[in-house]
Structure formats: structure tokens, C-alpha cells
Amino acid sequence: MESSIKKTYTSEFKSKVALELIYEVETLTQICSKYQIHPTQAGVWKQRLLKGAPELFGDRTATTRITELEKEKLDMFDTIGKLAHEVEWLKKRMCVGLIR
């Protein structure tokens, strides 16, 4: 039996293949044969490129979106910490109330 090792491709390679598919100079079969990749995989890369293209020309950069997501994540952690502190305080208050 042949062992199946998952191939990994660079983003440059994926974009090169996807752009060739969009240009349609060669057929899908020809391009996949040339780069020795499966047609399904090539189709996925093409769709990802087409889906992500509008974001490239948007007003907000990817860095801005990442920064906003990081800030939102930190705010959530802060809220979780406050709520955990309140729960602990309430547990202590309940135990004190039961003893008296």
C-alpha cells in the first residue's frame, strides 16, 4: 500500500494556479496536469480567489479588521473575568448566609 502524505502548497503557488484558471488560456484539465494537482483542489483555489477579491479593493485593510477582532477578543476576556469574579463573590456570600 502506498502511504498518503498530504501535500502542502504555498500561497504563491495557489494564487498562480487560480489566476491561470481565471484567465482560461488553458483548460482546467491542462492546468491541473501541468501542476500535478487535482481538479477539485484547483477549483477550490479559484473560488477562494474570486470570493476574496472584493476585500482586496475594500476601504478597510486586513490589518484593521484583525486589530478590531483582537480588541473585541480582549473585551470579551475582560467581561469573562469580571463575570467569573462576580460568581465567586456570590458563592462566598451564599456560603456565609447559610452559616449564619
Residue 46 one-letter amino acid: K
Domains of the chain by residue range: 7-58, 61-100
Which three three-digit cell numbers place residue 61? 485593510
This prediction has a pTM of: 0.54
Which three three-digit cell numbers place residue 51? 470570493
Q: What is the per-residue pLDDT across 2-53, written as a single tens digit (0 to 9) for each? A: 557 888 999 999 999 999 999 999 999 999 999 999 999 999 999 999 988 8
Q: What is the largest CA-CA distance in the chain?
A: 84
DSSP letter for 60, please: S
Which three three-digit cell numbers place residue 24? 482560461
pLDDT for residue 99:
55
Residue 34: count of CB within 10 angstroms of its CB: 11
Residue pair 37/46 in contact (Cβ under 8 Å)? The answer is no
